[in-house]
Amino acid sequence: MIVETLRVFVIVTEQRNFSRAAELLNLSQPGVSLHIRNLENEFGAKLMHRSPKLVKLTEAGEILYKRAKQILSLHQEAKQEIQLLNEKVTGSIQIGASFTIGEYILPRVLAQFAAQFPEVEMSVTIANTEEITQALKANKLDLGLVEGNVASSGMIITPYMKDEMILFTSAEHPLASKKTVKPDMLHDHIWILREIGSGTRAFSEQFIQAAGISIKRSYVFNSSQGVKEAVSAGLGIAILSRWIVRKELESGELCQITVIPKLLERNFWMLRNHDHASTMAVNMFIQKLIHNKS
């Protein structure tokens, strides 16, 4: 099987030595050499420069090594998923999510996971980033999905996906008629902000401070829905994830303000407590999250 030959190639590459690779693979050295020759014949290219002491990849070998690692990883994932067809995944998962993820992204993933593993019980806590982090530290959650920067000891922090942030206002606001807006045109406006501890609030404050924008006045809401409603009513301008306002933008109820230079993206993060034991149900849910990135 080509997968086995690719595995031999990867081990030889990482060990940089045929003899050590043969020992690890429990093969003879001529057997290892045969796998490499078969690969070179398959691709019609020399993959390795060999010497008695060292193995060095050619340019073609570097390309194949990168792809071989991906193929082996996908092969392992496929084996696990096929094995699960004959096994039941049970138990429970306590998930924490910040508002943007919990209200606009997570429900679709939960529905797909529930259809595949109906015997797993799931509960979701939606709160701001700081609250989710604290709940993970207290071992009240198995997994957290949050927005904004997270710097916390004892946490396994993994990038989950990118999120586009946009500045928007009501259709009647004076800025709505502008095709593009520079930061100095945002002085002395009323801003609608999320509460302190929210990843969206941190992003908004970072943008306002970096652009040197002076605020006439601000109103604070502890939910993105409250921010949307306040902006729609003409109270001011705000920054939220495109996930949150895309329907209102499509209907014309809200208008995006195109800022030059463009607002930066932010990361969504997957958080786990380093000391919290993971279960099969949690591991399978993490795989589902990774496979369903948008």
Q: For position 82, what pLDDT does the model report?
A: 76
Compute the chain's Rg from CA coordinates. 26
Are 154 and 276 in contact by the 8 Å Cβ rule? The answer is no
Residue 105 DSSP symbol:
T
Q: Which residue has the tokens 């096994």?
A: 87
What is the total residue count of the chain? Answer: 294
Q: For position 84, what pLDDT does the model report?
A: 66
Q: For position 263, what pLDDT does the model report?
A: 80
Q: For position 97, what pLDDT does the model report?
A: 95
Q: For position 185, what pLDDT does the model report?
A: 94
Q: For position 265, what pLDDT does the model report?
A: 84
Burial of 178 (0-12, 13-18, 19+ CB in 10 A): middle
Q: For position 1, what pLDDT does the model report?
A: 66
- In the chain, the amino acid numbered 171 is A
**Closest Cα partner for 272 from 145, 147, 178?**
145
HEC sequence for 88-119: CCCEEEEEEECHHHHHHCHHHHHHHHHHHCCC
Q: For position 85, what pLDDT does the model report?
A: 64
- Whether this model's pTM surpasses 0.75: no
Q: For position 205, what pLDDT does the model report?
A: 94
From first to last of its 294 residues, what are the pLDDT tens digits of the chain?
688 999 999 999 988 888 888 888 889 999 999 999 999 999 999 999 988 778 899 999 999 999 999 998 888 878 777 766 666 788 889 999 998 899 999 999 999 999 989 989 999 999 988 899 989 988 889 999 998 777 777 788 988 888 999 999 999 999 999 989 999 999 999 999 999 988 899 999 999 999 999 999 999 999 999 999 999 999 999 999 999 999 999 999 999 999 998 887 888 999 998 878 778 889 889 988 888 765
